[in-house]
């Protein structure tokens, strides 16, 4: 089998890792690979948190990767070293969660090194320029070299990992096939990340994350939304976030001012650490996903991974982990002995289970923002009310927070939070809080 992966960023690299177990040859097309860690892809310079599930999946695909990254300067945090705050209140620690503190480029560089060392994987610095669909399946990928020469690569199985702006839909239409419906939720999120020199302050912190919750009506009135991670090179990465007119800017004084209105660890970094360079900003307009499963006709020999399939609000840190879970779904699909020339129905089914869960979690939270105007899922007011109560209870009760954390880290489906045991515990925790406040 000749496999072709369009895009050699995080999702494309994982796809290549999986395909290597099944293909005679895997070719990654990535025009930007020289600049993959640099300024050519501005979102890669923003703080990236790798959720516990993403970390577990990476270790599964690349055994020993964590130790290798830690040896090279990354930080492995667990329990109290990972601090989540809601409305400025620290949540109970979760003992069995581990997170790697490192920049996105660092993690991706390590993954890239492993993938490109595989014997049957090659990366070509070319831009895919379309698809050729014949006899019901993708058979070749036209490409353009950096010198502008065009040619085609034969393909038995192709993975689109071209990110959220993938043009695959148009290319399919040009070949007489339907394009998937693109669902969007406009969120208008602003991000700004700055790096700080790290000394001996906050020796027991690897990740600190602060978000507004029900007490502030999800507005930054009680505490600024932001996060920090200890990263390689003895640095802190600090991100601040805000919506619409409250988007953070690259002004360093304003950045430090906002950090001082955030939770204690972020305040402390603002007070004692020196900023390294300037804050860099990013505007994330919408969450979007492509509905391949709705298509009346899907060509064979095609899978779609990463942001090309679904790209959700980065505040919840799901993108990298989603890509690892989709890679896992691809592995599962190919392991059934599926004919690569047939439509990858079971891949898209498995992938949509994880995308639906991530989409549900992030859009339900986003709809709490007054400027986000839908589309609302069925029964949204009840879902919102229940989500608010469970969020409040997760600050008070370690057991509820353990399930909350599993959902947040994508280890469990969001429905785990509506289990009668959790709902009962939530009612008890909130009743106990009320009783305590009236005595």
Sign of CA dihedral 162, 168, 169, 171: positive
Contacts of ligand FAD in 33-92 (CB under 6 A): 43, 46, 48-49
Q: Which of 7, 101, 226, 242 binds ligand FAD (CB under 6 A)?
A: 7
Question: What's the CA gap between 48 and 28, in Å, rounded?
Answer: 24
Residue 291 CB, shortest distance to ligand FAD, in Å, is 17
Query: Which one, 38 or 199, has the nearer CB to ligand FAD?
Result: 38
What six digits make up the tokens of 47?
A: 């703080």
Tell me which stretch binds ligand FAD (CB under 6 A): 176-184, 255-263, 306-314, 397-405. Answer: 306-314
Is 12 an interacting residue with respect to ligand FAD (CB under 6 A)? yes
Contacts of ligand FAD in 181-210 (CB under 6 A): 191
Tokens 């959902």 correspond to: 407
Query: Which one, 50 or 298, has the nearer CB to ligand FAD?
Result: 50
What six digits make up the tokens of 184?
A: 């969007």
* Triad 265, 270, 276: Cα angle to 5°: 120
Is 10 an interacting residue with respect to ligand FAD (CB under 6 A)? yes
Binding mask 312-331 for ligand FAD (x = CB under 6 A): --x--xxxxx-x--------
Is 243 an interacting residue with respect to ligand FAD (CB under 6 A)? no
Residue 437 CB, shortest distance to ligand FAD, in Å, is 35
Residue 101 · residue 234 · CB < 8 Å: no
Query: Which one, 32 or 276, has the nearer CB to ligand FAD?
Result: 32
Residue 387 · residue 350 · CB < 8 Å: no
* Triad 363, 81, 398: Cα angle to 5°: 65
Tokens 């600190």 correspond to: 208
Query: Which one, 323 or 387, has the nearer CB to ligand FAD?
Result: 323
Residue 302 · residue 344 · CB < 8 Å: yes
Query: Which one, 144 or 215, has the nearer CB to ligand FAD?
Result: 144
Residue 337 CB, shortest distance to ligand FAD, in Å, is 27
Please, what is the end-to-end C-alpha distance for the chain in angstroms?
A: 71
Residue 365 · residue 316 · CB < 8 Å: yes
Q: Which of 3, 19, 26, 30 binds ligand FAD (CB under 6 A)?
A: 30
Contacts of ligand FAD in 155-184 (CB under 6 A): 161-163
Residue 402 · residue 409 · CB < 8 Å: no
Count residues binding ligand FAD (CB under 6 A).
33
Q: Which of 101, 306, 340, 343 binds ligand FAD (CB under 6 A)?
A: 306
List Cα–Cα distances, 35 to 27, 165, 334, in angstroms: 19, 18, 31
Residue 423 · residue 429 · CB < 8 Å: no
- How many CB atoms neighbour CB 233 within 10 A? 14
Residue 429 CB, shortest distance to ligand FAD, in Å, is 29
What six digits make up the tokens of 142?
A: 């036209």
Query: Which one, 43 or 350, has the nearer CB to ligand FAD?
Result: 43
Tell me which stretch binds ligand FAD (CB under 6 A): 6-14, 69-77, 272-280, 329-337. Answer: 6-14
Binding site for ligand FAD (CB under 6 A): 6-12, 29-32, 43, 46, 48-49, 127-128, 161-163, 191, 282, 284, 306-308, 314, 317-321, 323
């Amino acid at each position: 089998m000749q496999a072709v992966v369009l895009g050699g960023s995080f999702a494309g690299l994982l796809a290549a890792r999986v395909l290597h177990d099944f293909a005679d040859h895997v070719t990654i097309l990535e025009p930007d690979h020289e600049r993959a860690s640099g300024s050519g892809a501005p979102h890669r310079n923003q703080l990236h948190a790798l959720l516990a599930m993403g970390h577990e999946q990476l270790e599964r695909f690349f055994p020993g990767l964590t130790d290798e990254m830690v040896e090279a300067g990354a930080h492995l945090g667990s329990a109290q070293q990972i601090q989540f705050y809601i409305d400025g209140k620290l949540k109970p620690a979760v003992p069995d969660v581990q997170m790697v503190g490192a920049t996105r480029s660092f993690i991706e560089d390590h993954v890239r090194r492993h993938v490109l060392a595989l014997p049957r994987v090659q990366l070509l610095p070319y831009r895919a320029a379309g698809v050729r669909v014949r006899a019901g399946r993708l058979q070749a990928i036209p490409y353009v070299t950096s010198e502008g020469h065009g040619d085609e690569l034969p393909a038995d199985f192709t993975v689109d990992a071209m990110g959220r702006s993938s043009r695959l839909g148009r290319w399919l239409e040009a070949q007489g096939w339907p394009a998937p419906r693109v669902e969007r939720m406009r969120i208008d999120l602003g991000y700004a990340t700055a790096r700080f020199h790290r000394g001996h302050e906050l020796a027991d912190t690897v990740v600190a994350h602060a978000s507004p919750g029900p007490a502030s009506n999800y507005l930054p009135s009680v505490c600024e939304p932001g996060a920090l991670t200890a990263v390689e090179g003895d640095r802190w990465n600090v991100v601040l976030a805000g919506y619409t007119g409250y988007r953070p800017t690259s002004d360093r004084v304003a950045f430090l001012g906002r950090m001082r209105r955030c939770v204690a660890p972020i305040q402390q970094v603002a007070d004692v650490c020196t900023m390294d360079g300037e804050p860099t900003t990013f505007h994330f307009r919408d969450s979007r996903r492509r509905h391949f499963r709705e298509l009346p006709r899907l060509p064979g020999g095609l899978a779609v991974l990463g942001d090309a399939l679904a790209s959700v609000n980065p505040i919840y840190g799901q993108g990298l982990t989603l890509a690892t879970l989709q890679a896992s779904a691809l592995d599962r699909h190919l392991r059934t002995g599926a004919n690569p020339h047939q439509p990858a129905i079971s891949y898209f089914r498995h992938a949509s289970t994880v995308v639906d869960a991530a989409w549900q979690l992030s859009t339900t939270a986003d709809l709490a923002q007054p400027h986000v105007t839908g589309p609302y899922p069925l029964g949204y007011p009840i879902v919102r009310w229940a989500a608010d109560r469970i969020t409040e209870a997760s600050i008070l009760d370690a057991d509820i927070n353990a399930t909350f954390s599993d959902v947040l880290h994508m280890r469990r489906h969001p429905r785990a939070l509506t289990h009668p045991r959790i709902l009962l515990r939530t009612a008890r925790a909130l009743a106990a809080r009320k009783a305590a406040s009236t005595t």
